[in-house]
Amino acid sequence: MQPRTMVELAPESLYRDLTELSAHLYKKALTDLPPDVRSAVHRVAEQEVAGARRRLDVMVNSIDISDRTGIIVCQDTGICVFFVRLGTEFPVNGAKLINALRNGVALATKEHDLRSSIVHPITRENRQDNTGVGIPDVHVEFVDGSDELEILLVPKGSGSENMSYLKMLSPSEGITGVKRFVLDSVIDAGPRPCPPTVVGVGIGGTADLCAALAKKAILRPVGEPHPEPEIAAIEKQLLAAINETGIGPQGLGGNVTSFAVHVEYSATHISMNPVAVNIQCWRGERASATISTDGAVSYGY
């Protein structure tokens, strides 16, 4: 599907356009990897040797094949997670917006013959459209005074999402305890999240907020440091420790186990310090679009 510009913001046409936009973002995320991810793969491929280099060459080749053919980079179509930044001046019904995003996922699954990976957690029934109760997962943030709607889609593959960790640390364990838990989590994950990875770390908040922060952390462009120097220093220290494990590309040994470590944090209670880890596989799939009230659409990652 080619990008399109929404020329009307009449209620019904808007939601039809949002459905098509959602479908476009799903296909784009699965076939057009972000520039920062491409750069990381090529950079690391030049650094590795022997078996690790061969694994990275396969990744480079997969990207090239997808660019030429439009075939998805990996067979795992993921579980769709949307991060929406909704301007308070953008005229949209929130419930209809979420329904349009959901319909777009189903539309893309049908139009592009994508594997349906979403099932009922008990019966394991598959609707064959990559949707279900509560899925896609939609996070909405309101932006005061903005007249834009920003939509970011991350199709999270199960290999990396299965490697998610949460621990309620005691404040007395300090930053040393945080680092130990993150490193232990990466070692436990081993090859299963398809390294080289981006390791998202959430610190603070409540258990559920901490897990959300870890997932939010993987959205940052690969290797972009946290704006606060103290947090950026922790990211750098953790990345160095992780790359000393020798897990390497696809877990077959090498110098680079992770492209980056990204940390997000929140204030928390005086008697606890939650830490969560959410790992993103080497593909780092994501796609975004920003819509303004005049109907203009710009696409990104």
Q: Is the pLDDT of residue 6 over 60?
A: no
User: How confident is the model at residue 143, as a pLDDT?
Assistant: 96
- Which strands, in side-by-side order, build the sheet including 164-169? 164-169, 273-280, 197-203, 258-265
Query: In the chain, which residues fall in CATH 3.30.1330?
Result: 159-280
Read off the pLDDT band of 140 (50, 70, 90).
very high
Alpha-carbon gap, residue 230 to 7, rounded angstroms: 45
Q: Is the peptide bond before 225 cis (omega within 30 degrees of 0)?
A: no
Read off the pLDDT band of 7 (50, 70, 90).
very low
Q: Is the pLDDT of residue 188 over 50?
A: yes
User: How confident is the model at residue 189, as a pLDDT?
Assistant: 97
pLDDT digits (tens, 9 = 90+) for 73-130: 999 999 999 999 999 999 999 999 999 999 999 999 999 999 999 999 999 999 999 9
User: How confident is the model at residue 12, as a pLDDT?
Assistant: 82
Check whether domain 11-31+73-157+285-300 has CATH 3.30.360, yes or no: yes
The structure's pTM equals 0.90
> Average pLDDT, stretch 282-297?
93
Query: In the chain, which residues fall in CATH 3.30.360?
Result: 11-31+73-157+285-300
pLDDT, averaged across the chain: 93
CATH fold of the domain at 159-280: 60s Ribosomal Protein L30; Chain: A; (3.30.1330)
Instruction: Sort residue 21 into left (φ over 0), alpha (ψ -120 to 50) or beta.
Output: alpha
